[in-house]
Chains A and B, each alone.
Chain A
């Protein structure tokens, strides 16, 4: 069964460093998302991406964050200069276009645990 994959599973970085988190969405999906979950807290939306551009972004997704679909399969989240409070589990998700006006199921990857020291 197709699934969303994410690499790396764990990333440890120093404060101020740049990190790139990678995701391979399910192949026939057209909508892509990043969410994060700080330890012990809710899963929070960061950004959605469709047709090679950002559709929506939350207040969390400030100028330090960027997303890119560099080729036909990968979807990346870059944090330009990491802060201690960026430590969290980052989840990528994707969904297909149902073509009916209804919104389909979002499928999540296993996550990347980011630790900023």
Chain B
């Protein structure tokens, strides 16, 4: 069964800093990997999707990479802003066509 782990569980950084969030999964047979943002009590906003054949995707200040062989993905956030404060979730799509989610990293960006 797929297990997805995210480290760290919580992170607090000053505004302007670059940061990296980590995601690891046990079953490398994933079809794609999605990164989401979740604000408290709210839904999931899709940030980036990386297909299994890709190594990275970029959107604005966000860059996500995928290394299937090691079972790892990272989300890089450049020049962090207070508005980036949220919980970030990674999720791998399995052959059963459903997403397996990690527990998330709660990010706080201090003004």
Contact = CB atoms under 8 A, between A and B. Distances in A.
B43 A45 contact: no
Chain B interface mostly helix, strand, loop or mixed?
Answer: strand
Interface residues of A, number: 24
B96 A108 contact: no
Nearest to A108: B44
Chain A interface mostly helix, strand, loop or mixed?
Answer: strand
Interface stretch (A11-19, A69-77, A79-87, A97-105): A97-105
Interface string B4-28: 0000000000000000000000000
B43 A110 contact: yes
A105 B45 CA distance: 11
B93 interface: yes
Contacts of A110: 42-43
20 contacts: A33-B99, A42-B104, A43-B44, A43-B89, A43-B91, A43-B101, A48-B98, A56-B96, A56-B98, A91-B43, A102-B32, A103-B51, A103-B97, A104-B49, A105-B34, A105-B49, A107-B46, A108-B44, A110-B43, A111-B43
